[in-house]
Chain A
Amino acid sequence: MGNYFSFPDLLIWLPLVAGIICFLCRKEQSAKTISILASLLVLGVSIASLFHTDDKKYLHFNNANYIWLKYIGANYFIGIDGTGRLLTLLTAIGFPLVLMSASRTKYVSAPSFYGLLLLTQAGLMGVFCSLDALSFYFFWELALIPVYFLASRWGGEKRIQATFKFFVYTFTGSLLMLIGIIYVYLQTGSRTFEDGTVVAHSFSLSSFYNAALSSKEQFGLFWLFFIAFAVKMPVFPFHTWQPDAYDQSPTPVTMVLSGIMVKMGLFGAIRWLIPMFPAATLRFNEVVIILCLIGIVYASCLAMVQDNLKKLVAYSSIAHIGLMCAALFTLNPVGIQGTMIQLFHHGINIIGMWVVLNMIERQTGIKQISQLGGLAQKAPKLTILFVIVALANIALPLTNAFTGELLMFTGLFQYNHWYAAIAGIGIILSAVYTLNMIQKVFYGEWKPVSNFFPDLSITEKLVLVIIVALVFVFGVYPQPLIDLTKESVNQLLMRLK
């Protein structure tokens, strides 16, 4: 297999082809089936890739390199390493869950809906696998376009403005990054192809790492890249697109956005930003951490006063991502390790939250906390599962997020006690608003809207049980994920030496 198809190839092309087939489908049911089957197949490939690591004989399985644009030295170069494997696994697990929970809702022109979702998956996989700056940029944008169409076509009332704001923010960010890519590219060394052609510069990751950049150049370029990644995460003050976009998008798209797409920003920082500009990172990491801390406190305060369920989760997501970004930029091994595994756990937990919110919105048509109440009486199973996911989201011990947050806090604490204390406020507030929300929506005063609320259907039960299982498995035994990413953490730290 290794000589014909590699794992990253399959991860990108399977959803792409399946997505195009979905577009050609006439019936809603067949598109649904194809998309779920394809996403399960991708999950299989992703799990298989976990068993083919680190050994030289598996090199061909994990990398694919073809000449793409010879005159400018760009390759179609994809491969998976520790971080990439973690995030492709998250994408592969996330999409079947998203698709299954979406399948209960009726969408107009559903085949395009499922097709676009699969195209998004292909774009995301590409981002996590690219080892060539130009392919990276291609996939980076390709993940954006289908999401834009998904959100604007099937979203809420104010969808057109909200999603266009999202598009403009990210598009501007990426264009600035493109300038950065070009600038670094022009400082790279020459490259020789197998057939003897020599071109002046190269887009490959390794030559980007070794580009001859003075520290002054690094200082400027750092911000060009950082803005692109910060918009995606989002980090304060680039976050203003996010609550509206989450609120107005159809929930399956919000799951993709908040569970997986935000990880693109952090991944970009881990794979590109920090290793490319070590000097600038060491110089500016404190600024980034302070921005993140402002974001954590600010978003947590806003989440406390939200009456809109979707916006509440959106703001809580800004706070969580802010913590991850801050821990990453502490640049100590514990903090980075914490961020790495939290990338995965946050994705799982937030998808779980959205699955439940999607159900509530579909059954009652309401997303205001003040109009809901007493759902637990009608839907006890749903309540139990949701409470577990929500507690995982605020990182209670024995749940998956606990290990990640513990490591991240240790990292922050080592860096600066006061910063850790400020971030701690965010965590306390997150417990306040999450528990408050659970209390009002599920246990609070009984409201007539919850009268016709059915308990879980079989698909939703399956989705939530899988998520809860992941929460507990990794809560009790987090070691596999740490092992998976340990090597990446070490490599990242080597670049900073």
Chain B
Amino acid sequence: MNAIILTAIWGVIMMFCGVFVKSKKAPKFIAITGLLLVFAANAVELATKKSFFNIQVHDMLQMDSFNLAFLAVIFGCTLVFFLLSGADVENVGSHVAEYFALIFFVLCGVSLAATFNTLLILFIGIEIISIPLYILTGSDKRNLKSNEAALKYFLMGAFSTGIMLMGIAFLFGGNPTASFYLQHLQIGVGPMPVLIAFGLVFMLVALSFKVSAAPFHFWTPDVYDGAPTVFTSFMSTIVKAAGFFAFLRLFQNAFGNMHDQWQHLIIFITIATLLIGNVTAVFQQSVKRMLAYSSIAQAGFMLLAVFALNDRAKEGILLYAAAYSLATIGFFAILIKMEDYTIDGFNGLARQQPLLAFTATVFLLSLTGVPLTAGFQSKFFMLMAAVENGNNFWVVIVAVLFAAVSAYYYFRVIQAMYFKEPGNLPLTRETELTGSFKAMLLITAILIIFIGIYPEILVGWMYH
């Protein structure tokens, strides 16, 4: 509860800040302060189970350790994002405070989507996430690609929202109590009623759109490529993780009883996502586009949580959100500083900027899932969940083989950085590589390694 209210309030404060504060640097610091506050308030709620605000919500929101731990991960990752890329937000355009305000509104939506207990709150949460993102995508106003991406994203998003509403309507009508509450949708044993089945498929399609799972992923590469890179970083990590969290919670709490009846749909989507994401990423020359496809591939792995639908899957999604977000945010922060976004643009980076190359390597190894990094632990927990699930063992084998494919495109960047010769021109915008930026990169890398060695620092919160 703390998180929902404070993020909304701080979003409004950031908007006013745009009017009254003239300095361009100030909004970033106000935003970081606000986020620290939100993080602390959420941590207090996680530790004591008591909110600062006592509001009667009629059980429409559910605040348990799992949800709050997930929000803590989200706020932590956003904090890293602000600290690493806050300066780049300032470079996007002149309305700096508004960008931060929009991000806070997104976080408010994330908080709702992570704690919903009725379909209505889910819908409101997803919409509050989406609308600021349409604006952020188009925030580079003079760039045609950014405009195109925003329009495309808006049209696709609106379409999937419509489908989601349709699904909610079916579900509302299909359950005997005519209720929006998740627990009322759990229809015991036996075949699924037709209306519920329709509703489930519509929800599946709509949420697959939002998390860019194949075959509903077509908007993703264009939008991620067109949006200002700093916002791509935010969209493809924190927002996507939140989408998955909502996805998992909806299917676990509303349709968990009927798992075996819809599992084959999820298997199809998972395999298709892994296949399309990984295979297409292999052929990309632009690192930004490669990351867009790799984010689809990683989505395939996160879908294993919905496939498995057990306690391990919850731990897995928590770790995956942290590992994937931290590594991708860190790598995007480096990418923004590059002169050239192609893979050749990274040639010989290790000679010119050893620290950048080293941290980028840690991020990429984490995305590949090499032990000692957070990425390994997240994949490991996800695989454990999927194996524990007990049926369709072959899905796990396929997923693992695609993880090996992913090594190909991540390692191309590592190979460029370490084993190829640099040209004469500087590869990075060196003036922007401040000491604090480098220190923050190093801290992020150490954090990734720390989670890689001791994942229970995150998983333990779930059982608090």
| 9-residue interface stretch from B137-145, B147-155, B285-293, B365-373 | B365-373
Residue A164 interfacial (CB < 8 Å): yes
Out of B404, B418, B456, which one reaches A168, CB within 8 Å? B404
Task: Say yes or no for A171: interface residue by CB 8 A criterion.
Answer: yes
Contact in complex: B400, A142 (CB < 8 Å):
no
Segment of A53-61, A179-187, A341-349, A488-496 engaged in the interface with chain B: A179-187
Q: How far is the CB of A232 from chain B (nearest CB, A)?
A: 15
Interface string of A186-200 (1 = CB under 8 A from B): 100000000000000
Q: Is the beta-carbon distance between B371 and A137 smaller than 8 angstroms?
A: yes
Asked, given contacts A145-B370, A179-B397, A182-B384, whether A153 binds B418 with beta carbons under 8 Å apart, the answer is: yes
**B407 near A168: Cβ-Cβ < 8 Å:** yes
- Cβ–Cβ contact B415 & A70, under 8 A: no
Interface residues of B in 403-434 (CB under 8 A from A): 403-404, 407-408, 411, 415, 418-419
Cβ–Cβ < 8 Å partners of B372 in chain A = 138, 141-142
Could you tell me if A70 and B456 are in contact, using CB atoms closer than 8 angstroms? yes
The one of A152, A168, A176, A186 in contact with B408, judged by C-beta atoms closer than 8 angstroms, is: A168
Contact A138 B371 (CB under 8 A): yes
Question: Cβ of A69 and Cβ of B400 under 8 Å apart?
Answer: no
Binary interface profile of B, 248-273, with partner A (CB < 8 Å = 1, else 0)? Answer: 00000000000000000000000000
Q: Which of B384, B408, B459 has the most CB of A within 10 A?
A: B384
A178 at interface, CB cutoff 8 A: yes
How distant is the Cα of A172 from the Cα of B370 in the complex, in angstroms? 11
Contact B418 A179 (CB under 8 A): no
Residue A47 is within 8 A (CB to CB) of chain B in the complex: no
* Interchain CB contact under 8 A, A152 and B415: yes
With beta carbons under 8 angstroms apart, the residue of A69, A141, A145, A149 that contacts B418 is A149
Which residues of A (126-156) have their CB < 8 Å from a CB of B? Answer: 137-138, 141-142, 145, 149, 152-153
Whether the Cβ atoms of A153 and B419 lie closer than 8 Å is yes
Max chain B C-beta neighbours (<10 A), residue from A69, A141, A153, A175: A175
- A326 interface hit (Cβ, 8 Å): no
B462 to chain A, nearest CB (A): 9
Whether B411 and A172, one on each chain, are in contact in the complex, defined by CB atoms closer than 8 angstroms, is no
A141 adjacent to B371 (CB under 8 Å): yes
Q: Does A415 contact B (CB under 8 A)?
A: no
- Give the CA-CA distance A168 to B397 in the complex, in Å: 16
Q: Does A310 contact B (CB under 8 A)?
A: no
| Of the residues B315, B387, B401, contact of A182 by C-beta under 8 Å | B387
Instruction: Give complex CA distance A70, B463 in Å.
Output: 12
Q: Given the complex of chains A and B, what is the CA–CA distance between A240 and B126 in angstroms? A: 50
Given contacts A175-B400, A175-B404, A178-B400, contact A141 B370 (CB under 8 A): yes
Given contacts A70-B456, A142-B372, A178-B400, contact A160 B419 (CB under 8 A): yes
Q: Are B418 and A167 in contact (CB under 8 A)?
A: no
Kindly state the separation between the CA atoms of A435 and B459 in the bound complex, as whole angstroms: 60
What residue of chain A has the Cβ atom nearest to residue B404's Cβ?
A: A172
Which of A71, A137, A159, A182 is within 8 Å of B419, CB to CB?
A: A159
In the complex, whether B162 has a CB less than 8 A from a CB of chain A is: no
CB of B215 closer than 8 Å to a CB of A = no
Number of interface residues of A (CB under 8 A): 28
Whether the Cβ atoms of B383 and A179 lie closer than 8 Å is yes
Chain B residue numbers with a CB within 8 Å of A138 are 371-372
Bound form: Cα–Cα A105–B456 in Å: 45
Q: Is the CB of B419 within 8 A of A176?
A: no
Min C-beta distance of B297 to chain A, whole Å: 15
Q: Chain B contacts of A168 at CB under 8 A? A: 404, 407-408
**Cross-chain contact A176 with B418 (CB below 8 angstroms):** no
B396 at the interface (CB under 8 A from A): yes
Report yes or no: B456 in contact with A182, Cβ–Cβ below 8 A.
no
- CB of A71 within 8 A of CB of B400, answer no
Contact of A69 among B396, B401, B455 (CB under 8 A): B455
Give the nearest-CB partner of B408 in chain A.
A168
Within 8 Å CB of A145, what residues of B? 365, 370
- Which residues of B are found within 8 Å of A71, using beta-carbon distances? 315, 456, 459-460, 463
Q: Which among A70, A167, A176 is the interface contact of B411 at CB below 8 angstroms?
A: A167
Q: Which B residues lie within 8 Å of A149 (CB)?
A: 418
B452 CB, min distance to chain A CBs, angstroms: 9
Write out the residue numbers on chain B whose beta carbons fall within 8 Å of the beta carbon of A171: 404, 407
- A-facing residues in B364-403 (Cβ within 8 Å): 365, 370-372, 376, 380, 383-384, 387-388, 393, 396-397, 400-401, 403
**What residue in chain B is nearest A70 (Cβ atoms)?**
B456
Task: Kindly report which residue of chain A lies nearest to residue B385, judged by CB atoms.
Answer: A182
| Chain B positions within 8 Å of A186 at CB level | 384, 387-388
A176, B388: Cα distance in complex, Å: 16
Considering the complex, which residues of chain B in the window 442-464 have a beta carbon less than 8 Å from any beta carbon of chain A? Answer: 454-456, 459-460, 463
> Hey, which chain A residues are within 8 Å of B365, CB to CB?
145
B371 and A142: CB pair below 8 A?
Answer: yes
Whose C-beta in chain A lies nearest to the C-beta of B452?
Answer: A138
Quote the shortest CB–CB distance from B237 to chain A (angstroms). Answer: 24
- Closest residue of A by beta carbon distance from B315: A71
B460: chain A residues at CB < 8 Å are 71
Please provide the chain B residues from 163 to 207 with a CB less than 8 Å away from any CB of chain A in the complex.
none
A153 to B455, alpha carbons, bound, how many Å? Answer: 31
- Asked if B396 and A179 sit within 8 Å, CB to CB, the answer is yes
**Are B456 and A164 in touch, CB under 8 angstroms?**
no
- Tell me the complex Cα distance, A183–B393, Å: 10
Q: Mark A398-439, 1 if CB is under 8 A from B, else 0.
A: 000000000000000000000000000000000000000000
CA distance A167 to B393 in the complex (A): 25
- The CB with the most chain A CB atoms within 10 A, among B401, B415, B418, B459, is that of B415
What B residues does A164 contact at CB under 8 A?
411, 415
Asked if B415 and A160 sit within 8 Å, CB to CB, the answer is: yes
Which among B315, B365, B371, B388 has the greatest number of chain A C-beta atoms within 10 A? B371
Please indicate the chain A residues that have their CB under 8 angstroms from the CB of B411 in the complex: 164, 167
Across-interface contacts of A183 in B (CB, < 8 A): 387, 393
Known: A71-B456, A176-B400, A179-B383. 5 other contacts (CB 8 A): A71-B315, A141-B371, A152-B419, A160-B419, A178-B380
Q: List 16 A-B contacts (CB under 8 A).
A: A68-B454, A69-B455, A71-B315, A72-B384, A141-B370, A152-B415, A153-B418, A153-B419, A160-B415, A168-B404, A168-B408, A175-B404, A178-B400, A179-B396, A183-B393, A186-B388
| Residues of A that sit less than 8 Å from B by CB | 68-72, 137-138, 141-142, 145, 149, 152-153, 159-160, 164, 167-168, 171-172, 175-176, 178-179, 182-183, 185-186
Closest 3 CB pairs of A and B: A172-B404, A141-B371, A175-B400
B contact residues vs A (CB 8 Å cutoff): 315, 365, 370-372, 376, 380, 383-384, 387-388, 393, 396-397, 400-401, 403-404, 407-408, 411, 415, 418-419, 454-456, 459-460, 463
